[in-house]
Amino acid sequence: MDIGAWKGIWVIAEQIEGTINSVSFELLGKAKQLKEQLKSSEPVTAVLLGSDIQGLADELGQYGAEEVIVIEHEKLAIFENDTYAAVLNDLIQERKPEIVLMGATAIGQDLAPMLGGILKTGVAAHCVDVNINEEGKFVAVVPAFGGKVLGDIFCPDHRPQMATLKPGILGEPVLDKNAVFKVTAYNAEESLKKVTGRVKAVGIYKNEIQGIPLEKAEVVVVGGWGIGSKENWSYIEELATLLGGAVGCTRPAVDENWAEGEHQMIGTSGKSVRPKVYIGAAVSGSTHHLCGMKDSGLVISINTDENAPIFDSSDVCIVADAAKFLPKLIERIKQA
């Protein structure tokens, strides 16, 4: 493989029913940083697949894409892994980007490994960061051993270098409505002829989540295993409602069926949040969890163990039984 022939940084943007997933904008911000680190003259490129999506190119351009490749076809209206992979494989083989970034979403986790396999290259999955090291090499940073350590992954001998990044980990770049960018249409007809049709998408079914999305909440109230019971968990939910925030949790709360589901879980295998205020109740503070909330603003923690790791990352530390402390806090807020 002629490594030198592969140049530029791409973001495979994600859209469903005409709405771009915000992780695509986050990735464009990171792609711009990588370009600066590489001192590259190649444009930061976003690739968007779908049907009737031409109008979405402006959003990608305003968030940092210097070129937007739009691939429109009725067969791309709903995501199908082998269809999208076939089209992207041909495009990537033709244009040869050095780095390809995708969101670690349901779609990204399905598409990235399939595409990497077809391209015979590696994919670093669920990254918490990517960067260019002092030697000018692309480094993907991934959590390991339950988030206790972070490992660097390199792909020195194959191209493109691919990585998926967790939504919410990077932060959204600044919108520039005066940005100048190029829009390129790509004809996927020949690529689509190669698709076997073994996968057939029949529709889109939405799992409606009540309340404020965890990643967008300015206040997040998080409960851990130490809260003790489903009855006590109601204090977590009530406090979040009173503060106009969202409920988060650690893995044990999901396993005990106290929390609604994994969509509320924060950590290396859950979501990453950056609220203005984070309140952790009976959360011990494993590295696994801390990776998902490290960019929070004011961190308030309540724990019976004065040596709990969460206190090392907290601005306000309250040594108390959260199950007894929260009802009093809730009552005081109601009286205010």
Name residue, tokens 């992979």: 85
Return the pLDDT at 147.
61
Residue ranges of the chain that CATH labels 3.40.50.620: 3-192
Which two structure tokens, joined as six digits, stand for 21? Answer: 């997933």
pLDDT digits (tens, 9 = 90+) for 56-111: 999 999 999 999 999 999 999 999 999 999 999 999 999 999 999 999 999 999 99
Residue type, 71: I
Q: Does the predicted TM-score (pTM) go above 0.95?
A: no
Return the pLDDT at 209.
67
Name residue, tokens 């893995």: 251
For residue 13, the SS3 value is coil
Return the pLDDT at 54.
85
Pairing relationship of beta strands 15-16 and 19-20 according to DSSP bridges: antiparallel
Which parts of the chain have pLDDT scores under 70?
145-148, 207-209
Beta-strand (E) ranges in 231-275?
Answer: 246-249
Return the pLDDT at 1.
81
How many Å apart are CA 112 and CA 63, to the nearest integer? 22
pLDDT digits (tens, 9 = 90+) for 170-193: 877 888 999 999 999 999 999 998
Closest to 141 (Cα-Cα) out of 157, 124, 123, 121: 124
Return the pLDDT at 40.
92
Angle at the Cα of 148 from the Cα atoms of 144 and 153, rounded to 5 degrees: 35
CATH assignment, 214-335:
3.40.50.1220
Which two structure tokens, joined as six digits, stand for 300? Answer: 């308030």
Residue ranges of the chain that CATH labels 3.40.50.1220: 214-335
CATH superfamily to which 3-192 belongs? HUPs (3.40.50.620)
Residue type, 140: A
